[in-house]
Amino acid sequence: MPPPINTAELLREHGLRPSKKLGQNFLQDPAILDKIVQIAEVTENDTVLEIGPGLGSLTRHLALSAKEVVAIEIDKKIIPALRASLDGYSNVKVIEGDVLETVPAEVINASEYLVVANIPYYITSAILRHLLENNPRPSRMVLTIQKEVAQRICANKGKMSLLALSVHVYGHPEIIANIPAGAFYPLPKVDSAVIRIALHDEPRIPVYLLDAFFRLAKAGFGQKRKTLRNSLSAGLHIPTSQSEELLINSGIEPRRRAETLTLEEWVLLTENWSKS
């Protein structure tokens, strides 16, 4: 294990304060950092993409197990402290920038990679979309996120959301561990969990239907308490007679709500809609 970082002291030394706006709650418990690397099953053959290395506590743990770590950090003010903390870790490449504006393939020097990160919670959905929709996709992701969001992503039958559905198209998400607030500095106001997403080789929706699928799903979830008959009609700007026919032809009762559909039913619905 690398020597632990004293977050408060390092911040003080560099005249820094944690930025709430950038979601800066730093992980500093060495046992938890080690556990995250184990959950990700990082080996010396792996290239790891880390989002938001902050002061480098997770980065250092990753660097000891991985072949290379590419770490993207947006906060220019924290970079000198990060570089100091990573002094001597020669297999880490720090990229100064916004992960949402960075194409992984352009910064990673490998055909396969993993993502392991304690991400800024305020852009969880955007990060997931960005990583899942860019090619090549990572082979797996191990992310520390807000527990409530982790539960939403991992929800299954009957409790699907647009976010869960978007993740399930690309991979299988699981909650692996809960992280106590005391593992962070400063203490977060929300509970946290580690999720692992094992990516499918191919998305569960044929690639040529992905756009149509997301249009349908956005329409379906757009009007929360409405039946699919009505939400699809409103979201797709089609008469209810047409949305009803589409649903019936796909074997779906038109009064059901979006959250009750399985991924397989969405696939069928998309195929039928694209034919119509």
Residue nearest to ligand SAM (CB): 52
Closest distance to ligand SAM from the beta carbon of 275 (Å)? 40
Among 21-29, 128-136, 219-227, 258-266, which window interacts with ligand SAM (CB under 6 A)?
21-29
Closest distance to ligand SAM from the beta carbon of 53 (Å)? 5
Site membership for ligand SAM, residue 98 (CB under 6 A): yes
User: 3-class SS at 208?
Assistant: helix
Q: What is the dihedral of CA 167, 171, 176, 180, to 10 degrees?
A: -30
| Residue-level length of the chain | 276
- Find where tokens 């990229």 sit: 95
User: 3-class SS at 276?
Assistant: coil
Angle subtended at Cα 25 by Cα 58 and Cα 104, rounded to the nearest 5 degrees: 55
Backbone angles phi, psi at 53, to 5 degrees: -70, -20
Site membership for ligand SAM, residue 18 (CB under 6 A): no
Say if residue 30 is exposed, middle or buried (CB neighbours under 10 Å; 0-12, 13-18, 19+).
Answer: middle
Residue 71 token pair: 């770490």
Q: Binding mask 122-161 vs ligand SAM (x if CB under 6 A, - otherwise)?
A: -x--------------------------------------
Pick the closer one to ligand SAM by CB: 82 or 165.
82
Site membership for ligand SAM, residue 177 (CB under 6 A): no
Site membership for ligand SAM, residue 118 (CB under 6 A): yes
Task: List contacts with ligand SAM (CB under 6 A).
Answer: 22-27, 51-55, 57-58, 72-75, 98-100, 118, 120, 123
